[in-house]
Amino acid sequence: MSKHFLFKVLSISLLLVFVQGCTTVKAWEKGYLSKPEMAFAPDPMEQKIMDHTYFAKEASSSGSAVSGGGCGCN
Amino acid sequence: MKSSNKVCLALTSAALTLPGMVSERAHAQAVPEKTKVGYRYTSYQEGDQPANTLAAGAAERFNIDVHQFSVVAPVSSNVAVNVSAITETLSGASPWFIQAGPDGEAQVVMSGATIEENRDELNVGASIYEESTQQNFGLSYSKENDYESVGASMSSSLWMNENNTTLDWGLSASSDTIRPTQDAAVDPGRVAEEDKNRLTLFGGFSQVITKTTVVGANVSFANYEGFLSDPYKLVMINGAPGRDSRPDKRRQWAVDVKLRNYQPKIHSALHFDYRFYRDNWAITSHTITSGIYTDLWSWKLSGRLRYYSQVGASFYRDFYIAPRADGFYSSDYRLSGYAATSLRLGVSKKIAMFELFTNYEYYNSFDGSNPALVDFAMVTAGLDLNF
Amino acid sequence: MKRLALVCFLLCSGVSAWAVDLGSVAPNAPLKELAGTEPGKLSGIADYKGNLVYLDFWASWCGPCRQSLPIMNKIREQYAEYGFEVVAVNVDENLDDALGFLEQYPVSYPVLLDPEGKMPAMYDVQGMPTAYLIDRKGVIIYKHEGFKKSDEAKIEAMIKENL
């Protein structure tokens, strides 16, 4: 069931990419997108400590797992 | 099609923070113009174990003081290096095992003595910027009293479609050794030394939709092999103590979807993230995060709500009535079914070459049978310097 | 359905409508002048024909522009007497952002306002900042994308060569 769900999410996302390829935002129109608060991780140091904390306190981290598995989580 | 495309500032990428790397990838394609030095101090405090579910042991849970340092510097026209270090001091008691109380309800026995431990971590890496690509390499090392880890990572990003589409992919691996602190009086038979290895792969993309909207999606897979149990924890099997004993293999998958949308009238960026996770221990989880980041002259304010829920591992029980055929046992609340919400608030201000930060987060777990579910508060203060 | 999407993607991502290249005549559009000879009036790069013109597309959100504007201001002051001019076209959607930036990094050369992006569209600008060197006959002879401090020498050399 998970593989099917994953596949669905991926296909829809990829389709979005292809369709949106037709409405290109130009280089001089990227003022808003270039604001630091529009980044996926506006503050990398903050992101790291949050990921580290959630990794130590919850069961589920993979792509966001921090380096150095030791987490002082015992 | 013209391939020349040096973009000024951020076009974001889908890659999440990869093990051993600083995710500076948000400002990519052009080498950073300035060197950035950052420092953060975080104080993390868990709430005491409530008396009504505390069978024995100390009520005070973890307090952690964390110092983070980071330097990102351009070293040539297309290469930047990064070095980051974390040092933390941890003290407090943790859940040792869960037992059935007088009325059959679950109670936690905490570890008796409060421990004090240090953990240090060092990451170094480099990023190479070309016409429409970026390559990142990183090495990491961490050490604490009973744990040591070495890791490496690499990832790539590719920009296309006038920098409106980004593809990212990468992998990382680490090799860990655990040498648990021995305590023959309280718990003889604890393992002396064990290893574990991890391999993570990810792939993702980001796509600009309009001048004010960008979306991203990412898929990741991690494989763990080796000693994955908690050597300090016990379980109760029909009233008699046994060891926390987890499978020696674990495979994890996660899908992340992110949206960023800017609302000019309120000078704010709206964030929405969703993550779905599943592993072969039968744990599944959903994480929903939404946030607002507002810019008011030189002040930046942010607020973020996170909802997390997980279904427990197939072999998890608060306590066991009978032994299991597969021999797997764990009463660690982190493998149980529960939900948690957290609220995070942040303020930052730019003053000349500095940017000052402060954050507060309150995290609250609920809706689970394990009495040792944790609540915590985290306060961070720090600064960045660009020169 | 997937094939249609693929074709659409290939069509939409690969095509560049205008090919304004080295050797072509520099396109012009009338824009409001913020600073320069007559602030508020409409002007364009055509008004500077006969000079060697450095046409610089910039914005307040453009990091490298914090270095390029002061450096170009310095170069312009050095060579203005020989018939060299810098014409800066600002593409900020909010005038206040542009004004704020110029307060921090003031320049003495003309700044034209193009919030709708008419000029960069005519030049099919691919990245910010981008600058074009236009000779006295109005022909584009050099394009410079991005900006690093180390670019100063190269740009100055191109200008001296064509004065």
Do B30 and C64 count as a contact with CB atoms less than 8 A apart?
yes
Phi, psi of A4 (to 5 degrees): -65, -45
DSSP code for C146: S
Contacts of A34 in chain C (CB under 8 A): 61-62
Segments of chain B scoring below 70 in pLDDT: 1-29, 112-114
DSSP state for residue A24 in the 8-state scheme? P
Q: Which residue of A has its CA nearest to C117?
A: A28
ipTM of the complex: 0.87
From CA B112, how far away is CA A31, in angstroms rounded?
Answer: 56
Residues of C with CB under 8 A from a CB of B: 12-16, 59, 61-65, 67, 124, 126-129, 145-146, 148, 150
Q: What is the DSSP letter of B367?
A: S
Any chains having at least 3 CB pairs less than 8 A from chain C are A, B
Q: Looking at residue A2, what is its pLDDT? A: 62
Using alpha carbons only, what angle is made at residue C29 by residues C27 and C32, rounded to the nearest 5 degrees? Answer: 145
pLDDT band at A60 (very low <50, low <70, confident <90, very high): confident
CB B8 within 8 A of CB C127: yes
- Is A72's pLDDT higher than 50? no
Contact partners, residue B325, CB within 8 Å, separation at least 6? none
Q: How far apart are CA B310 and CA B313, in angstroms?
A: 9
Separation of alpha carbons C76 and B342, rounded Å: 55
What pLDDT score does C72 carry?
A: 95
**Backbone angle region of B258, left / alpha / beta, with phi > 0 → left and psi within -120 to 50 → alpha:** beta
pLDDT at A20: 53
Contacting subunits of A (3+ beta carbon pairs below 8 A): B, C
| CA distance between the termini of chain C | 57
Query: Which of C14, C63, C148 is opposite residue B77, by nearest beta carbon?
Result: C148
Tokens of B348: 């930052």
Does residue A73 carry a pLDDT above 50? no
Residues B95 and B234: their CA atoms lie apart, in Å, by 9
The residue type at B143: K
Tell me if B117 sits within 8 A of A72, measured CB to CB. Answer: yes
**How many Å apart are CA C95 and CA C60, to the nearest integer?**
10
Which tokens belong to B133?
Answer: 């690509």
Contacts of A63 in chain B (CB under 8 A): 16, 18, 200, 202, 218-220, 222, 254, 256
Interval C45-100: pLDDT, tens: 888 888 999 999 999 999 889 899 999 999 999 999 999 999 999 999 999 899 99
- Do the chains contact at C148 and B5, CB–CB below 8 Å? no
- Determine the Cα–Cα distance for residues B179 and B16; give it in Å rounded to an integer: 31
Residue B13: the pLDDT is 38
C33 pLDDT band, cuts 50/70/90, is: confident
The mean-pLDDT minimum among B30-34, C38-42, C112-116 falls in: C38-42
Q: Classify residue B37 as exposed, middle or buried by CB count within 10 Å of its CB (0-12, 13-18, 19+).
A: middle
Interchain CB contacts (distance < 8 Å): B and C: 45
Which residue would you say has higher pLDDT here, C117 or B21? Answer: C117
Chain A residues 4-23 within an 8 A CB cutoff of chain B: 5-6, 9-10, 13-14, 16-17, 20-21, 23
Taking 70 as the threshold, does the pLDDT of residue C105 lie above it?
yes
Answer whether residue A74 shows pLDDT above 50. no
A21: chain C residues, CB-CB within 8 Å:
8-9, 12-13
d(CA B243, CA B227): 13
CB contact under 8 A, A15 and C117: no
Q: What is the pLDDT of residues B330-359, one digit of tens each?
A: 999 999 999 999 999 999 999 988 999 999
Question: How far is C-alpha B197 from the geometric centre of its chain's CA atoms?
Answer: 18
DSSP A27: G
Phi, psi of C46 (to 5 degrees): -60, -30
What is the pLDDT, as a whole number, of residue A14? 65
Within B174-292, where are the H helices? Answer: none
Pairwise CB contact (< 8 Å): C126 & B33: no
Calpha distance A68→B140 (Å, rounded):
7
Determine the residue type at B114. T
CB atoms under 10 Å from CB of B21, counted, come to 30
Integer Cα distance of C48 and C43 in angstroms: 9
- Determine, for residues A18 and C61 on separate chains, whether the beta-carbon distance falls below 8 Å: no
Residues 143-172 of B with CB under 8 A from C: 160-163, 165
